């Protein structure tokens, strides 16, 4: 196996990982350990080029720094990606190889489940390194973080709805959900139970069919989800989807979802604000998953109480960000970034 440092001025450490025996190609990025060891999930996607994967892992790891700080966790930000199709290329041997690469960082980075990964995959990693969370079993095992992630996003949607309309009631509200993976599905379940009408999009036809049956959801093609007439847009798939092409198409009043790095650039946060679309910053809205994972990394025995306390605090943080953004007539993303940077400057989670 070859582990090669990647020159960087924006991160503490980045490594390119290659293992010819298993076909492994990937990256590990540690953005910051200022508040504690870096933590963030392992993602497997069929990136078109290594550069695309590198760009993604850099953005995602910085997002984890902000997410962990916003959630009040004594953790820094990191991320890892594997280049490949998880349905075709993922093997126990490949995961063992990547686990050994993670182990070389000696605890400066803890990984967990992300897109293309499962708790069972985390168990394969844990066979060769202790620096992994999201395990399906064990004393401090936190399991699948998706339900807790979805719960935090649902809270953020309710908070944004109340901020804009004076009530958190979602009865009769139309929510356009992009992506029906683990997080998107759990979010749809909560939204449907709250009385929301759902319009969904996903590249997997079987998920769409199931959503029609279970949630009585309407469905549109993936490239049409941006122009759906709805009250709320909830992106729960890949990042960078709020950009100069998609923002002009939006016919919603609120954007609040689970995808990481939803804004292609800071300018896109300002573009949403200019269109009077309220944006719930993603790294605050989707912090529930890492809160759940943190109980395993930090070996928290009273996991349920810890998660409840942190979720409540995260919702208060979102409320404060939206309130400050309104008072300053600026985009919530800028306020959220300034908030977490101030926390980091003080050296406290």
**Binding residue ranges:** 179-184
Q: Which of 32, 21, 24 is nearest to 4 (CA)?
A: 24
Active site residue 79: yes
**Interatomic CA distance for residues 167 and 154, integer angstroms:** 14
Beta strands in 168-313 (DSSP E): 174-178, 197-201, 218-219, 232-235, 254-255, 278-279
Burial of residue 183, with CB atoms counted within 10 A of its CB: 0-12 exposed, 13-18 middle, 19 or more buried: buried
CB 257 within 8 A of CB 234: yes
Beta-bridged to residue 37, according to DSSP, are none
CB 44 within 8 A of CB 16: no
**Interatomic CA distance for residues 233 and 225, integer angstroms:** 9
For 72, list phi and psi in degrees, rounded to 5. Answer: 70, 35
From the candidates 58, 67, 79, 310, give the one annotated as an active-site residue.
79
The C-alpha R_g of the chain, in whole angstroms, comes to: 19
* 324: Cα within 13 Å, side-chain hemisphere: 15
Q: Which residue reads 């800071």 in tokens?
A: 266
Tokens of 133: 């969370």
Q: Which residues of 4-43 are buried (b: 16+ CB within 10 A; e: fewer)?
A: eeeeeeebbbbbbbbbeebebbbbbbbbbbbbbbbbbbbb
Indicate which residues carry an active-site annotation: 79
């Amino acid at each position: 196996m070859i582990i090669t440092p990647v020159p960087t001025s924006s991160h503490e450490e980045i490594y390119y990982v290659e293992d010819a025996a298993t076909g492994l190609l990937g990256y590990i990025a540690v953005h910051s350990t200022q508040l504690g060891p870096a933590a963030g999930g392992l993602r497997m996607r069929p990136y078109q080029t290594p550069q695309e994967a590198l760009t993604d892992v850099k953005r995602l790891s910085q997002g984890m720094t902000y997410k962990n700080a916003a959630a009040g966790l004594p953790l820094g930000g990191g991320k890892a990606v594997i280049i490949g199709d998880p349905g075709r290329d993922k093997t126990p041997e490949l995961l063992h190889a990547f686990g050994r690469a993670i182990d070389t960082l000696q605890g400066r980075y803890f990984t967990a489940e992300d897109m293309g990964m499962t708790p069972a995959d985390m168990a394969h990693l844990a066979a060769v390194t202790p620096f992994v969370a999201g395990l399906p079993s064990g004393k401090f095992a936190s399991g699948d973080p998706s339900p807790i992630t979805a719960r935090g996003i649902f809270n953020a949607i309710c908070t944004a709805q109340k901020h804009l309309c004076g009530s958190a009631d979602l009865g009769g509200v139309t929510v356009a959900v992009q992506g029906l993976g683990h997080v998107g599905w759990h979010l749809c379940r909560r939204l449907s139970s709250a009385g929301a009408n759902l319009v969904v999009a996903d590249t997997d036809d079987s998920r769409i069919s199931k959503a029609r049956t279970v949630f009585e959801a309407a469905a549109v093609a993936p490239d049409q989800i941006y122009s759906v007439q709805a009250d709320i847009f909830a992106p729960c798939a890949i990042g960078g989807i709020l950009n100069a092409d998609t923002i002009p198409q939006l016919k919603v009043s609120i954007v609040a979802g689970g995808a990481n790095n939803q804004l292609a650039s800071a300018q896109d946060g300002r573009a949403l604000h200019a269109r009077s679309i309220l944006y719930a910053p993603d790294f605050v809205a989707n912090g529930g998953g890492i809160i759940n994972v943190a109980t395993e990394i930090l070996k928290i025995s009273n996991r349920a109480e810890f998660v409840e306390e942190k979720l409540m605090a995260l919702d208060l943080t979102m409320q404060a960000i939206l309130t400050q953004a309104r008072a300053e007539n600026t985009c919530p993303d800028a306020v959220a970034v300034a908030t977490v940077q101030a926390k980091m400057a003080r050296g406290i989670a």
